[in-house]
Structure 1
Amino acid sequence: MTIWVLLGIMFLAANLPWFSDKLFYVIPLKAATGAKNIAWCLLELIILYFLVGVVAQYAERATFGQAAPQDWEFYAVTSFLFLVFAFPGFVYKVLWKKTI
């Protein structure tokens, strides 16, 4: 059950940067076009990846009593999984042209 909740949190956090023109839904950005730049979205994505990692680390310690040591392969796989989860938000923000 815990793994499904963590995957849901990861999917939600990966899509959060793409659905708002504010930085972390709090700080308004004063852009010339009125939209948030992709660089800001990627910065938010990186920070949210680490925040989800902290939540997952806490959940693992709370569930199993200890956290298993991880090598670079684990972080490579989870970071790319986070990017795959962010794809629907990216399509909505960047690729889906608004015709209105």
Structure 2
Amino acid sequence: MTQTASVWLVLLLALLVANMPFVSNRLFAVYALKSPKNLAIRLVEMLVWYLLAGGLGLYLEQRTGQIASQGWEFYAITGTLFVTFAFPGFTYRYLFKRRG
């Protein structure tokens, strides 16, 4: 897999999993809960998805060559990018008016 394909794979995966907590009522899209998820559970789930997407990115970077060291700035930027990716799901879940 080329480096460009790896980057696009991680970005598309991050876009998909950032919205998973807000689109699905199942925990990690697998486990059905007895009561609906609240915002706190959704945010914790989003953090776990962020770590998994970052782990895949780290793995793909390690496969293509040497892993570059990252400071706190990298994690601050990728975290805010992940939250930005989650905005469509958040909007769908909390800001659209339900009719009927």
In the superposition, the TM-score normalised over structure 1's length comes to 0.90
Please list every run of 5 or more consecutive structure 2 residues that lacks an aligned counterpart in the other structure. Answer: none
Q: What is the RMSD computed on CA atoms of the aligned residues?
A: 1.0
Deviation, structure 1 residue 29? 1.6
Deviation, structure 1 residue 89? 0.3
Residue 20 of structure 1 is matched in structure 2 by 24
Question: Is the aligned partner of 1:36 residue 2:40?
Answer: no
In the superposition, the TM-score normalised over structure 2's length comes to 0.90
Residue 59 of structure 1 is matched in structure 2 by 60
Residues in 1 aligned to 2:25 and 2:14: alpha-carbon distance in whole angstroms? 20
Question: Is the aligned partner of 1:5 residue 2:9?
Answer: yes
Residues in 2 aligned to 1:96 and 1:62: alpha-carbon distance in whole angstroms? 42
Aligned length: 96
- CA offsets per residue over residues 32-87 of structure 1, 9 Å max, x none? xxx32111110100000000110000010112x21000000000000000000000
Residues in 2 aligned to 1:36 and 1:98: alpha-carbon distance in whole angstroms? 17
* Aligned sequence identity (%): 46
Residues in 1 aligned to 2:61 and 2:10: alpha-carbon distance in whole angstroms? 10
The runs of at least 4 aligned residues of structure 1 exceeding 4 Å deviation read: none
Secondary structure of the residue that 1:67 maps to in structure 2? coil
Residue 88 of structure 2 is matched in structure 1 by 88
Secondary structure of the residue that 2:47 maps to in structure 1? helix
